[in-house]
Amino acid sequence: MADTLSMLNIVIPEIIVVLFAFLALFSDLKGKNRRLAGFITLVGFILAILYLLTLKGVEGNLLTFVLDSYAWSFKMLFLFASAIVAVISIGYLERAKSSVGEYYALLMLATAGAMFVVSARDLITLYVAFETASLSSYALAAYFRWDRRSNEAGLKYLFYGAFSSALILYGLSLIYGLTGRVELEAISLAISSSPVAYLALAMLIAGFGYKVSAVPFHMWTPDVYQGAPTSVTAFLAAVSKAMGVAIFLQIFVLGLGSMIGDWRLIIAVIAAVTMTLGNVVALVQTNVKRMLAYSSIAHAGYALVGIAAFNPLGIASAIFHMVTHALMKAGSFAVVGDEGESIHQLNGLWKRSRIAAFAMTVFMFSLAGFPPLAGFWSKYWLFWSAMESGLWILALIGVLNSVISVFYYARVIRAIYVIESPRTLKISRMSSAVVAAVICMTGILIIGVYPQPVIATLLEAIRAVYP
Amino acid sequence: MIPQSYVLAFSILLLSIGALGVMTKRNPIVMLMGIELMLNAANINLISFSRLFPEGFTAQVFALFIILVAAAESAIALAIVVRIFRNHGIVDISLFEGLRW
């Protein structure tokens, strides 16, 4: 018992986040201290990041809660992305018609849930942790309760999420029945191919396919991304998607890695279809939130390429891709939340706000994968890892998709610079969304110029999950 | 003792009925009932499998957690349904046409 308590420090970042969640909840009971609640949230995230920095390289476990370099990397991503979302929310929630304490509380609880997910190495902890994160995000998506579209987004997200959870649970119960174990590493040793294992695998691929919005389980993504408040959309794209990929890695690589021969082809096909459909449907969108939602689907496909490759570089670059994707999507949703979600509302942004226009340009070029930016490196390593594993066709489809995607990202850039707009009023004040966009842009530029330390850290980190 | 295969067949049936309910019904409350059936299919599986592995209470604890989370899920779903009822005056999934393509 004393031994257990001595490892209590590894769970302190989560404790900080949960404590500040309640602090934020009670700081704004009457809707008069909106900014205060936002700043409390931000302080909570920053404290958690600082404490997590002191835990770098620490390995240990507290009962079923494990901290290793893999969990550390993902937690850093979640905390950083959520802090950016908190910055966006401070400005975005000015339009809220009620108190915002519960919004920030839910945001922090969702982040805490995601942090527990990456520390979970057994099925029960994993399930409870990802439901903590999911349930908070359902409520967040429906947060603008006076807005019909937000209601609709929340309910759709909840039903698709609950449906997929039920499928996942059925699959997990079958895995328990086959192996008698709930620890992921014990499962990977005990499981072998059998008809029941295939049924479980099908259930898990469908269920987790919903969570990362892989085709054909992607239908909810555009609706939810469009209907949810834009700050929540940024959270869903940055944190929830990364959490989905993390669960994918833990279940399929760590837990079912020994059945690689059975699931690799399925994941490869899903990855190819997801990339293609996401990019092609994004071409015809006129709503930027919806377009970015389809782009998010396509990017889930890119991450699955790394998992299908199933080599150290592939898995590390899938995580790397989630890092860059979080920065790019959080930043672009920040700008979209400030300017408006129809592509016409971005017209002439260059005249109104030079910083926002430049940041948006960087995000679009990075999403399309232009060389000196972070988005290029994640795609480069993902496709390289696919070729290393002999998945030439998959890498080729990925490259072709990158070319297709340039067209719709270019439309946004054209709206910003070329098309004139009657709205020429210059935005003089530095809105919180612009601050968030600048932080994301800086991150993308730094990672783009100097990506080696990040990928080296991740290559080190995935030793914890890669068999 | 009931053979394991019977339990498995029963739970698959329950899962399918629940999934069918979620996919075909238009009323969110009935859809929620479908979700509950699907979750209970997993619970039945876990409890029946726990007979095969008598040491420890892992499966029972898992099932308890599932029941717990399902309750929280229903609470959030019903809260959203109440908001939809206040905004639309009626609760029906086919109302949802605000978000297309």
Tell me the DSSP string of A74-89.
HHHHHHHHHHHHHHHH
**Token pair listed for A89:** 């929310």
pLDDT at residue A378 in the model: 92
For chain A, say whether B94 makes contact (Cβ under 8 Å): no
Instruction: With respect to residue A373, please indicate whether it lies within any of the assigned structural domains.
Output: yes
pLDDT at residue B101 in the model: 43
Whether B99 shows a pLDDT value over 60: the answer reads no
- Residue A430 has phi, psi (to 5 degrees) of -85, 95
CB contact under 8 A, B22 and A153: no
Instruction: Count other C-beta atoms under 10 Å from residue A463's C-beta.
Output: 13
Nearest to A164 by CA among A76, A272, A248: A248
For chain B, say whether A131 makes contact (Cβ under 8 Å): yes
* pLDDT above 70 coverage of chain A, percent: 97
Instruction: Count other C-beta atoms under 10 Å from residue B47's C-beta.
Output: 16
Contact A238, A84 (CB under 8 A): yes
CA distance linking residue A82 with residue A16, whole number of Å: 14
Q: Tell whether ipTM is more than 0.85.
A: yes
Of B48, B76, B101, which has the smallest distance from its Cβ to A138's Cβ?
B76
Nearest to A201 by CA among A162, A272, A117, A259: A259
Average pLDDT over residues A134-139: 95
Whether B32 shows a pLDDT value over 70: the answer reads yes
Instruction: With respect to residue A1, please indicate whether it lies within any of the assigned structural domains.
Output: no
CA distance linking residue A296 with residue A219, whole number of Å: 12
Whether A428 shows a pLDDT value over 60: the answer reads no
pLDDT at residue A200 in the model: 93
Contact A103, A89 (CB under 8 A): yes
Whether B98 shows a pLDDT value over 60: the answer reads no
CA distance linking residue A427 with residue A447, whole number of Å: 29
Question: Residue A226: its chain B contacts at CB < 8 A?
Answer: 99
Question: Residue B32: its chain A contacts at CB < 8 A?
Answer: 162
pLDDT at residue B96 in the model: 67
pLDDT tens across A314-349, in order? 999 999 999 999 999 999 999 998 888 888 888 888
Contact B73, A162 (CB under 8 A): yes
pLDDT tens across A37-94, in order? 999 999 999 999 999 999 988 888 888 899 999 999 999 999 999 999 999 999 898 8
Whether A220 shows a pLDDT value over 50: the answer reads yes
Average pLDDT over residues A422-440: 78
Average pLDDT over residues A210-232: 91
Angle, vertex CA A349, rays to CA A346 and CA A353, nearest 5: 140
pLDDT tens across A95-130, in order? 887 788 899 999 999 999 999 999 999 999 999 999
Instruction: With respect to residue A338, please indicate whether it lies within any of the assigned structural domains.
Output: yes
Distance from CA of A145 to the nearest CA of B (A): 6
For chain A, say whether B81 makes contact (Cβ under 8 Å): yes
Tell me if residue B98 falls in helix, strand or coil. coil
Average pLDDT of chain A, as a whole number: 90
Largest CA distance in chain A: 68
With left for phi above 0 and alpha for psi between -120 and 50, is residue A99 left, alpha or beta? beta
Whether A423 shows a pLDDT value over 80: the answer reads no
CA distance linking residue A138 with residue A132, whole number of Å: 10
Contact B65, A124 (CB under 8 A): yes
Say which CATH topology domain B4-95 has: Helix Hairpins (1.10.287)
Q: Tally C-beta pairs within 8 A across A and B.
A: 120
What secondary structure letter does DSSP report for A62?
A: E
Contact B32, B77 (CB under 8 A): yes
pLDDT at residue A352 in the model: 84
Distance from CA of A173 to the nearest CA of B (A): 5
pLDDT at residue A429 in the model: 61
Q: Rounding to the nearest 10 degrees, give the CA dihedral for residues A370, A372, A378, A382.
A: 70
CA distance linking residue A331 with residue A325, whole number of Å: 10
User: Which structural domain range is residue A23 located in?
Assistant: 9-464
**Token pair listed for A302:** 């890119």
Chain A residues 203-222 with CB within 8 Å of chain B: 222
Question: Residue B11: its chain A contacts at CB < 8 A?
Answer: 170
CB contact under 8 A, B35 and A176: no
* Lowest-pLDDT range of A105-109, A319-323, A359-363, A428-432: A428-432
First to last CA, chain A: 30
CB contact under 8 A, A173 and B49: yes
In chain A, the number of structural domains is 1
Residues in chain B: 101
CB contact under 8 A, B80 and A151: yes
Confidence of residue A308 (pLDDT cuts 50, 70, 90): very high
Query: Which residue, chain included where needed, has tokens 């604890």?
Result: B61
Query: Which residue, chain included where needed, has tokens 């085709």?
Result: A215
Helices (H), A180-287: 184-190, 195-212, 220-227, 230-235, 241-248, 260-282
Contacts 24+ apart (CB under 8 A), A425-431: A425/A352, A426/A351, A426/A352, A426/A353, A427/A352, A427/A353, A427/A356, A431/A91, A431/A338
CA distance linking residue A338 with residue A349, whole number of Å: 11
Q: Which residue of B has its CA nearest to A222?
A: B101
For chain B, say whether A124 makes contact (Cβ under 8 Å): yes
Distance from CA of A279 to the nearest CA of B (A): 14
For chain A, say whether B11 makes contact (Cβ under 8 Å): yes
Average pLDDT over residues A157-173: 94
Query: Which residue, chain included where needed, has tokens 């409520």?
Result: A139
pLDDT tens across A241-269, in order? 999 999 999 999 988 888 888 899 999 99
Nearest to A157 by CA among A171, A176, A137: A137
Instruction: With respect to residue A444, please indicate whether it lies within any of the assigned structural domains.
Output: yes
Instruction: With respect to residue A2, please indicate whether it lies within any of the assigned structural domains.
Output: no
Q: Rounding to the nearest 10 degrees, give the CA dihedral for residues A459, A464, A466, A467.
A: 140
Q: What share of chain A is helix, strand, coil (3-state, %, to 5)?
A: 80, 0, 20
